Structure 1
Amino acid sequence: MTTEQAGAEIAAVMKKAGLVWLSWDGRRAAPAWFAAVDGAYVVLADRSGSAEQPLPGLAEAGQVEVVVPAKPATNRLAAWTATVRRLDPASEEWTAAAQVLRTERLNAAGLDTQLDRWRTEADLLVLDPTGEFTDSAHAYDEQTRTVSPSGSPAATRGKLPFILHRRPTRRTPLS
């Protein structure tokens, strides 16, 4: 597959996606929303622990694997690699990408100060496709892609709490 064909296939797959899963430096994949800007894909990565999407270390990563989920989110549509490039907040490219991201950002708080906040607290990162597919929709193999959930202190183990006015488990017949 040539680079142009790979770019066209990546563009077709990315049109169907609302978000992607990014995996870099051996880390667990993290969901990220993105916007397409001039054939490249831009993500916003939080730098200082603010309310933006947390993607720690992505700005320093050289490459990232981008996994595009299918609409029923139980399957992969494709997976491809990209190089990561940080945009300079003083450049016109940053302003153009930020304007496109701003329109894609749903439920944003503080729209009047959003771009200033992004300049100081976040990184705009461009994911440039390398043309290498690591997984595609038509390439099935026996490899399992299930991952056990990460540990969380929110998990409850043990006996369920007592519930008042619970319905009886056995219902009496109507006749």
Structure 2
Amino acid sequence: MTEKLLDQALVEEATKKSGLIWVTGGDAPAPEHREGPAAPSRPLWHVWHEGAACLVGDGPGEQPLPALADGGDAVVTVRSKDKGGRLVSWAAKVVELTPRSPEWEAAVGDLKGKRLNAPDGEAVPERWAATCRVLRLEPRGTTGALPDGSLAAPPVPTPATTRRAAPAGLPRLLFKKRKRS
């Protein structure tokens, strides 16, 4: 019993203090059975609210929430705020909140305060109700041993490009000696 309470306290405190969690949704294995990621983990901003991590996304200008379906499972990995290393990994049940329900209003109240650079400021709850999903990731009480490896995965495909190689003549232009007058 004491170990379960300590696990709950670790999950809550670590998740509250971390501004970012890594979430693997869908058919992700439970943390104690995981040898490597089943699907790419996503870094997601969140708010700890009434015993669960609350997220908003899947709308214009908001974070994507792929593979997180109502009633589904997810694995949440929490990092240390100061060192950035993994602290705990826990199993979660995904619950989608109904817009304008009392639970939704309470969660959105906390999320709105943590949302940085919202394009519509105070009107953000209206946009979230119309176009976004608000999810609760409720701990199932299962924490697992952290994996030994890095769990690095190839980047998710994107249309973004990286910088091209510098033109061959650029160093000569940048580092040529200035003529004295």
Tell me the TM-score range normalised by the shorter chain. 0.7 to 0.9
Q: Say if 1:45 and 1:59, in contact at 8 Å, map to a contact too.
A: no
Q: Say if 2:16 and 2:47, in contact at 8 Å, map to a contact too.
A: no
Does 2:128 align with 1:118? yes
What RMSD over aligned residues (CA atoms) do the two structures have, in Å?
A: 2.5
The two structures have a TM-score, normalised by structure 2, of: 0.77
Alpha-carbon displacement from aligned partner over 1:78-114 (angstroms, at most 9, x marks no partner): 2111100011113111101101110111111212321
Which residue of 2 is the match for residue 99 of structure 1?
A: 109
Which residue of 2 is the match for residue 78 of structure 1?
A: 88
Does 2:91 align with 1:90? no
**For 1:142 and 1:96, how far apart are their aligned partners in 2?**
38
Alpha-carbon displacement from aligned partner over 1:101-145 (angstroms, at most 9, x marks no partner): 101111112123211110111111011001111345xxxx64342
Structure 2: gaps of 5 or more residues: 27-37
Which residue of 2 is the match for residue 161 of structure 1?
A: 167
**Structure number with higher helix proportion:** 2
**For 1:146 and 1:73, how far apart are their aligned partners in 2?**
18
Q: Say if 1:87 and 1:123, in contact at 8 Å, map to a contact too.
A: yes
What is the CA-CA distance between 1:10 and the residue it aligns to?
A: 0.5
Distance 1:160 1:61, change over 3 A: farther
**For 2:116 and 2:148, how far apart are their aligned partners in 1?**
37
Does 2:69 align with 1:68? no
Distance 1:119 1:19, change over 3 A: same
Structure 1: gaps of 5 or more residues: none
**For 2:144 and 2:103, how far apart are their aligned partners in 1?**
29
Which residue of 1 is the match for residue 56 of structure 2?
A: 44
Which residue of 2 is the match for residue 10 of structure 1?
A: 11
Q: Say if 2:22 and 2:43, in contact at 8 Å, map to a contact too.
A: yes
**For 1:108 and 1:65, how far apart are their aligned partners in 2?**
28
**For 1:51 and 1:79, how far apart are their aligned partners in 2?**
28
The two structures have a TM-score, normalised by structure 1, of: 0.79
Equivalenced residue count is 162
